Amino acid sequence: MPQILPRLRGDRRFWRPVDGLYYQYRRPEAIDAVCGRCGARFAFNPKLTKTHEFDEASGGYRVLQGAIEGPIAGCGGCTKCGKIVTSLNWPDDAFLKVRLSEGIVWAWNEQYLPALRARIAGDKTALRHLTMKSTDLIRFVARLPRYAVLIKNRARLMTELDRLERSRK
């Protein structure tokens, strides 16, 4: 009788590999930013950046490491005061951000907020269900800084995120 071996578990959790998890990073198509003039929320559309580059030596494609923080080129305009914006200084211009003594915890837009809340709260089941079909959310959660998930910062972050959710309605 043949021996039946158990299914091995490796670095491909739930059998969905995410290639270049820590190197490849795509910005979303719409970013929620705060207007520098009136403080209102507006949508900003960043310019698309290349994530892969053809490598002639190997004949394959190389994953380009993109910067997350710093200047972001694109276009957007405040509907309240009419200010036109062509670049953002991220994460200082983020609308969904919480300042801690260690740094800033932010989300690109409101679609990233439930996954951020689940990760900070430590709810692994909710986080798995939220990130099941979105590799962008997986990459976002994987890049959260250590101070964002510390238990000592959890209460403050959750209250501030609740305040941000109430202000978006």
**Residues 53-66, mean pLDDT to the nearest whole number:** 81
67's CB contacts (< 8 A; 6+ apart) are none
- Asked whether the predicted pLDDT for residue 115 surpasses 90, the reply is yes
Are 60 and 118 members of one domain?
no
Are 129 and 166 members of one domain?
yes
Are 100 and 88 members of one domain?
no
Q: Evaluate whether residue 116 is within a structural domain.
A: yes
Furthest CA-CA distance within the chain: 76
| Residue written as token pair 């995120």 | 161
**Residues 80-87, mean pLDDT to the nearest whole number:** 93
**Residues 62-66, mean pLDDT to the nearest whole number:** 75
- Of 2 and 141, the one with more pLDDT: 141
- Asked whether the predicted pLDDT for residue 65 surpasses 80, the reply is no
Structural domain count of the chain: 2
* Segment 145-150 long-range contacts (CB within 8 Å, at least 24 positions apart): 145/102, 145/103, 145/105, 147/100, 147/102, 147/103, 147/105, 148/100, 148/105, 148/119, 148/120, 149/119, 149/120, 149/122
Q: Evaluate whether residue 14 is within a structural domain.
A: no
Are 62 and 84 members of one domain?
yes
**Residues 41-57, mean pLDDT to the nearest whole number:** 87
- Of 20 and 152, the one with more pLDDT: 152
Q: What is the mean pLDDT of the chain?
A: 84
Structural domain ending residue among the three candidates 95, 129, 157: 95
Q: Which domain holds residue 90?
A: 24-95
**Residues 91-107, mean pLDDT to the nearest whole number:** 92
| Residue written as token pair 């978006």 | 168
Are 122 and 159 members of one domain?
yes
Say how far residue 144 (Cα) sits from the centre of its chain.
8
